[in-house]
Amino acid sequence: MTDSEVKYGLAGVVADDTAVSKVMPETNSLTYRGYAVQDLATKCRFEEVAYLIWNRELPTKAQLAAFNALEKSERGISPAMLTLIGMLNRHAHPMDALRTAVSFMGQADETAEDSSPKGLYDKSIRMFAQIPEIVAADFRVRAGKAPIPTTKDLGFSENFFHMCFGKVPQPEIVKCFDMSMTLYAEHSFNASTFTARTIASSLSDIYSAVTGAIGSLKGPLHGGANEAVMHMLKEVGGAKNAESWMMDALAKKKNIMGFGHRVYKKGDSRVPTMTDAFRKMVDVIGTPEAREYWEMSRILDKIMVREKNIYPNLDFPTGPAYYLMGFEIPIFTPIFVISRITGWTAHVMEQRAANKLVRPLSNYVGVAQRDVVPIEKR
């Protein structure tokens, strides 16, 4: 093998078939099971999209009611999980806490090794129903507050706000959050999904696959970018500084968080929909702080496109949107998990249905073969 044959970062490599989503770089678009994501985000609730991702079709009213009832029946984390959350290091990143909690869920679930289609589906719904409560409980415990138990009276997104803050905000804010859930749900063979599929390919269990995927998503080049965007906006400090900050950062060849994409080179189709929801939310909040973050984002976006022809990705509008919803910055990536659990688990199901162990080759660049000299002669 020669160096030229190595596909660094697996860039351009088609590793398997998938029917879950399609990324079309030529049109910068994305579909889940054939539906454009922006269409789904504006016309459906996230529960419908989750159903679609797992069941291949959008639900009828009766199917959605049954699905919601199933999800609600799985809500409610165990007392042992609450104890675990209370024991975790409060200075650790919430993604580390979530990774530990999902791994804990796996060892507690006696059906963990059941990877039949039904077994995988049941556990996917269980994680979908319980991960939001884990994230919310950890969020409150870190702030020295008591966790708020889940309720079966509220929809998926409303329930998450309730568990975090004890109340549900205005509909435009819930809609913005719900749309972000749909837009984050699935994205073909990104690093975390490929990690989940790689783990599933060894016939390991679905909790192990999701635990590994959480570790992958945590990195700032992947899911962690929404947090990094917010740190960046705080550093910029205001709309009046935005242009000079960006020009200076570009002159110093800094990596600007929330911009660029391995696949989309001319813009990400999820961004206009999310940006529109963010703008509507800013109008409803109406505070000077909200308007400042909106203005700052607009300027940074404009300068980056003008200077580098690099477009924002989904993390760019979601970072400040989550912040203005009242979430602490380190919880942004766990919020991404609340959504992406749908895509990851659909891929685990797909991998297991037509499994081939993932095992690429490597190009060895170390020393040539040599003899071992016994220790007394070294």
Minimum CB separation of residue 308 from ligand COA in Å reads 6
CA 221 vs CA 23, 191, 262: distances in Å:
19, 10, 10
Torsion of CA 315, 214, 96, 127, to 10 degrees: 110
Residue 124 or 313: the one with the smaller Cβ distance to ligand COA is: 313
Q: Which one of 60-68, 164-172, 230-238, 258-266 is the stretch in contact with ligand COA (CB under 6 A)? A: 258-266
Using CB under 6 A as the binding rule, whether residue 191 contacts ligand COA is answered as no
- The radius of gyration of the chain's CA atoms, rounded to the nearest angstrom, is 22
Q: Which one of 41-49, 75-83, 251-259, 336-344 is the stretch in contact with ligand COA (CB under 6 A)? A: 251-259
Phi-psi region of 267 (alpha: psi -120 to 50; beta: other; left: phi over 0): left
Q: How many other C-beta atoms are found inside a 10 Å radius of the C-beta of residue 299?
A: 17
Using CB under 6 A as the binding rule, whether residue 184 contacts ligand COA is answered as no
Using CB under 6 A as the binding rule, whether residue 106 contacts ligand COA is answered as no
Please give the full DSSP string across 209-239, using - where no structure is assigned.
HHHHHHHHHTSTTTTTHHHHHHHHHHHH-SH
Minimum CB separation of residue 301 from ligand COA in Å reads 12
3-state secondary structure 138-190: HHHHHCCCCCCCCCCCCCHHHHHHHHHHCCCCCHHHHHHHHHHHHHHCCCCCC
Give the span between the Cα atoms of 126 and 124, in whole angstroms: 5
Residue 107 or 255: the one with the smaller Cβ distance to ligand COA is: 255
Minimum CB separation of residue 323 from ligand COA in Å reads 16
Residue 104 or 264: the one with the smaller Cβ distance to ligand COA is: 264
Q: Which one of 20-28, 103-111, 252-260, 287-295 is the stretch in contact with ligand COA (CB under 6 A)? A: 252-260
Count how many residues are written for the chain.
378
Minimum CB separation of residue 269 from ligand COA in Å reads 13
Using CB under 6 A as the binding rule, whether residue 313 contacts ligand COA is answered as yes
112 in Cβ contact with 177 (< 8 Å)? no
Nearest Cα neighbor of 340 from 151, 188, 164 is 188
Residue 94 or 260: the one with the smaller Cβ distance to ligand COA is: 260
Minimum CB separation of residue 226 from ligand COA in Å reads 8
Which tokens in the block code for residue 239? 């709309």
Using CB under 6 A as the binding rule, whether residue 310 contacts ligand COA is answered as yes
Q: Is 261 one of the catalytic residues?
A: yes
Looking from the CA of 27 toward its CB, the CA atoms found within 13 Å total 7
Backbone φ and ψ of 23, nearest 5°: -100, 125
200 in Cβ contact with 345 (< 8 Å)? no
Q: Which of 259, 294, 322, 336 binds ligand COA (CB under 6 A)?
A: 259
At residue 274, the 3 state secondary structure works out as helix
Using CB under 6 A as the binding rule, whether residue 71 contacts ligand COA is answered as no
State the catalytic residue, choosing from 138, 178, 205, 315. 315
Q: Residue with structure tokens 């599933």?
A: 200
Residue 75 or 187: the one with the smaller Cβ distance to ligand COA is: 187
Minimum CB separation of residue 322 from ligand COA in Å reads 15
State the catalytic residue, choosing from 178, 261, 268, 347. 261
Using CB under 6 A as the binding rule, whether residue 256 contacts ligand COA is answered as yes
Q: Which of 170, 202, 255, 363 binds ligand COA (CB under 6 A)?
A: 255
Minimum CB separation of residue 228 from ligand COA in Å reads 7
Q: Which one of 132-140, 145-153, 208-216, 254-262 is the stretch in contact with ligand COA (CB under 6 A)? A: 254-262
Binders of ligand COA among 314-343, rule CB under 6 A?
A: 315
Q: Is 315 one of the catalytic residues?
A: yes
Q: Which of 199, 210, 225, 338 binds ligand COA (CB under 6 A)?
A: 225
Minimum CB separation of residue 255 from ligand COA in Å reads 5
Nearest Cα neighbor of 247 from 306, 298, 294, 293 is 306
Catalytic sites, residue numbers: 261, 315
Kindly list the residues in this chain that would bind ligand COA in the complex (CB under 6 A): 221, 225, 255-262, 310, 313, 315
